[in-house]
Amino acid sequence: MARPTSDRNPCPVSQLMNMLSGPWTMYIIWTLSTSGPMRFGVLRRQVEGISTKMLTERLRLLEQEGIVHRHYEPTVPPQVTYSLTERAGELVTILDQLNGLAQRWYGDLPCGASPQSETLEEATVLL
């Protein structure tokens, strides 16, 4: 099991960057911030392309770091809902700023496209 990021490096900036730069981490945080609390299966479908194993690992790390709250409801079948904590609010503020930047830089691109692919498509049409 992964140790909390804070145990690996004493530098606060390195700790934060290591935690946030993990695969899918920012996407998971962004999805929970824009869609609100959700169950595991719904979250997995929202974060397109993530495996069940990877989502489980990322959620556990984010829970250890105090970013995600896991609410277990002992029903039949059991229900587990994931949501962001108050601590995550600071990250959401930064993600909102990144979203504004993304809209200014890439707002005219369809989701999943890159500026290079659009340029190649335009060049192909011209030929």
d(CA 12, CA 2): 18
- CATH label of the domain that carries residue 69: 1.10.10.10
Whether 120 is covered by a domain: the verdict is no
Reported as a pLDDT band with limits 50, 70 and 90, residue 109 is confident
Whether 103 is covered by a domain: the verdict is no
Give the structural domain span for 26.
5-96
- Indicate the pTM of the whole model: 0.76
- The least confident of 9-13, 15-19, 39-43 is 9-13
Whether 62 is covered by a domain: the verdict is yes
Whether 68 is covered by a domain: the verdict is yes
Q: Report whether 8 contacts 65 (CB < 8 A).
A: no
Whether 36 is covered by a domain: the verdict is yes
Number of domains in the chain: 1
Q: Alpha helices of the chain — where are they, by DSSP H? A: 12-20, 25-35, 40-46, 52-64, 88-106, 115-126
